[in-house]
Amino acid sequence: MELTGPVFGVTDVTALDRDLTRRHQGEPLGERITVTGRVLDRRGRPVRGQLVELWQANASGRYAHQLDQHPAPLDPNFTGFGRCLTDDAGTYSFTTIKPGAYPWRNHVNAWRPAHLHFSLFGTAFTQRLVTQMYFPGDPLFPYDPVLRSVTDESARRRLVCAYDHALSVPEWSLGYRWDIVLDGPSATLFEEGDPS
């Protein structure tokens, strides 16, 4: 597994926190995307006021973190992390850049498929859940030990978002939908224990 990323509090969450493309003076490199969905409980009820964090690699497959020594370029206009609170319908939304695949030296020619990390908090820090969202049709799925470790095919499919043309913003971003179910038989798979 990988190191867990940013941990924010709920203080001063602003609209800018959910748009990872507008935090710097210049435009980030890569394909701009909108990712939205709902955070739901086992009965399909919305989870309101939930702090949702996102962190990711840039379009070249590199994290803006000192531990990432992959020789892909850093993007000075993209740091790759954001946060938002779910609304009354349990909806979250981020505008970001589609991340690139990256090597991770787990085995020979090991590459991680493009993915976003999500973290959700309950009412206390100890209730933090961490998961990953993948993009449809990635050719690296069969080679990724993290995704392959999910032996239940339906659980693995729930980790892959869906392209949603209605969410695409004309001349701005492509849209993806991904709901997060916190518990029950249709729950999104979360990392257990120390994810490092």
How far apart, in whole angstroms, are the C-alpha atoms of residue 65 and residue 74? 10
Question: What letter would DSSP give residue 98?
Answer: P
Catalytic residues: 63, 102, 112, 115, 117
How far apart, in whole angstroms, are the C-alpha atoms of residue 173 and residue 94? 11
Q: Give pTM, 2 decimals.
A: 0.89
How far apart, in whole angstroms, are the C-alpha atoms of residue 59 and residue 63? 10
Is the predicted pLDDT of residue 14 greater than 80, yes or no?
yes
What is the per-residue pLDDT across 47-58, written as a single tens digit (0 to 9) for each?
Answer: 999 999 999 999
| Domains within the chain, CATH numbers bracketed | 15-181 (2.60.130.10)
What is the per-residue pLDDT across 24-51, written as a single tens digit (0 to 9) for each?
Answer: 899 999 999 999 999 999 999 999 999 9
Strands 180-181 and 32-40: parallel
How far apart, in whole angstroms, are the C-alpha atoms of residue 76 and residue 98? 16
